[in-house]
C-alpha cells in the first residue's frame, strides 16, 4: 500500500493506492451453484450435430448453413407442436448467464421469424429501422435455396454445433469443443461419437501466488459458466511459477 498526497484547490487530500495483489476482488457474495431442482436447464447434452469443426470467424455461417441444409425454416410443425428453435452462439448464452452479476452494457439482439428465434451480441443498439432491416435480411437469407457451402470452410479447429432442449425450446448453438481426456488414445479428433465417449475437461493456468486472489473474483464464476455450457466434467487448475513452469 502507498499513500500519496494530492492537492485539489487549497486543500491537500491524502489518497490511498492499493497494489494489485491487495485489491479486493469483485466478489459474488450470494452466489450458489445451480442445481437440477432449481435450474432445470440441460444445455450440456453432449449432442453434436456437425461432423467437423469450424473456425471461429465462420461460426454463424456454420449455423446458417445448418438451418438451410436441414430446411428448419420451412419444416411444417405437427399439430399441437409448440416447440421453438433458438439459434445462437455460446458467448451469447454466457452473456445471459452472467448478466445478473455485472453492471455493464451487454446488448443482445433477438429476432423471431416463424418458429425460429435468433440471438446475437451487438456492440451497440442500432436504430429501430436498422433492426427491422436486419430482421428481413435474416429471414430472406435463411429461407433461400442457395447453398452457402463456399462460405463455410470446415476444418479441425474444434468448433461444433451443439443441440439441447429447454422447456419448449430446441437450442442450437455453435461453440468450441472442450479438451478431452480418455483412457484410450483418441485417433480422430473430429469423430463426434468417439469424442462423446471421452471426459470433457477445462484447464486454466494461473500464477500460484495469485490463486487466493483470483478465487475471490468473478473470473472464477465465468470459468464455471463456460464449463457448464461446454459439458465439462472435470476442472483443472495448473499453478505456474515466475519462470512459467507448472509445478502443481
pLDDT of residue 190: 62
Assessment of whether the complete model's pTM goes beyond 0.85 = no
Q: What is the pLDDT of residues 163-213, one digit of tens each?
A: 777 777 888 887 777 777 777 777 766 666 777 777 778 877 888 777 777
Residues 161 and 66 sit within 8 Å (Cβ to Cβ): yes
* Region for 160 from its dihedrals, namely left if φ exceeds 0, alpha if ψ lies in -120 to 50, beta otherwise: beta
Question: What is the C-alpha separation between 119 and 112, in angstroms, rounded?
Answer: 9
Q: What is the pLDDT of residues 27-82, one digit of tens each?
A: 545 445 544 454 444 444 444 444 444 444 455 566 666 666 666 665 555 555 66
Average pLDDT over residues 207-229: 78
Residues 201 and 181 sit within 8 Å (Cβ to Cβ): yes
Question: What is the C-alpha separation between 54 and 111, in angstroms, rounded?
Answer: 24
Sign of CA dihedral 143, 144, 146, 151: negative
Q: What is the pLDDT of residues 85-131, one digit of tens each?
A: 888 888 888 888 887 777 667 777 787 777 788 887 776 656 555 55
Question: What is the C-alpha separation between 50 and 157, in angstroms, rounded?
Answer: 13
Question: What is the C-alpha separation between 139 and 131, in angstroms, rounded?
Answer: 12
Cα angle value 22/24/26 (rounded, 5°): 145
Question: For the chain, which residues make up each domain, given as ranges?
Answer: 42-177, 178-248
Which cell numbers in the block locate residue 126?
Answer: 442500432
pLDDT of residue 155: 44
CB atoms within 10 A of CB 109: 16
Q: Which residue has the higher pLDDT, 25 or 137?
A: 137
Q: What is the pLDDT of residues 136-165, one digit of tens each?
A: 666 665 665 545 444 444 444 566 777 777
pLDDT of residue 41: 41
Question: What is the C-alpha separation between 109 and 121, in angstroms, rounded?
Answer: 6
DSSP for 43-54, please give it.
EEEEEE--SSEE
pLDDT of residue 1: 41
Question: What is the C-alpha separation between 48 and 62, in angstroms, rounded?
Answer: 13
pLDDT of residue 145: 55
Question: What is the C-alpha separation between 106 and 104, in angstroms, rounded?
Answer: 6
Amino acid at each position: 500500500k502507498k499513500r500519496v498526497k494530492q492537492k485539489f484547490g487549497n486543500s491537500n487530500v491524502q489518497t490511498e493506492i492499493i497494489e494489485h495483489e491487495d485489491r479486493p476482488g469483485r466478489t459474488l457474495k450470494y452466489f450458489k451453484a445451480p442445481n437440477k431442482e432449481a435450474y432445470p436447464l440441460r444445455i450440456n447434452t453432449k449432442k453434436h450435430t456437425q461432423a467437423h469443426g469450424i473456425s471461429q470467424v465462420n461460426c454463424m455461417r456454420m449455423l446458417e448453413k445448418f438451418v438451410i441444409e436441414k430446411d428448419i425454416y420451412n419444416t411444417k410443425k405437427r399439430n399441437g407442436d409448440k416447440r421453438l428453435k433458438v439459434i445462437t452462439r455460446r458467448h451469447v448464452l454466457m452473456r445471459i448467464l452472467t448478466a445478473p452479476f455485472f453492471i455493464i452494457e451487454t446488448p443482445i439482439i433477438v429476432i423471431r421469424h416463424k418458429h425460429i428465434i435468433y440471438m446475437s451480441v451487438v456492440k451497440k443498439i442500432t436504430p429501430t429501422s436498422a433492426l427491422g432491416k436486419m430482421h428481413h435480411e435474416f429471414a430472406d437469407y435463411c429461407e433461400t435455396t442457395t447453398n452457402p457451402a463456399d462460405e463455410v470452410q470446415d476444418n479441425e479447429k474444434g468448433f461444433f454445433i451443439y443441440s439441447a432442449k429447454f422447456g419448449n425450446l430446441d437450442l442450437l448453438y455453435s461453440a468450441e469443443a472442450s479438451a478431452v481426456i480418455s483412457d484410450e488414445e483418441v485417433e480422430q479428433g473430429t469423430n463426434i461419437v468417439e469424442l462423446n465417449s471421452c471426459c470433457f475437461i477445462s484447464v486454466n493456468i494461473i500464477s500460484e501466488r495469485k490463486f487466493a486472489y483470483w478465487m475471490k473474483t468473478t473470473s472464477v464464476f465465468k470459468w464455471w459458466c463456460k464449463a457448464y455450457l461446454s459439458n465439462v466434467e472435470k476442472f483443472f487448475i495448473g499453478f505456474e511459477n515466475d519462470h512459467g513452469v507448472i509445478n502443481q
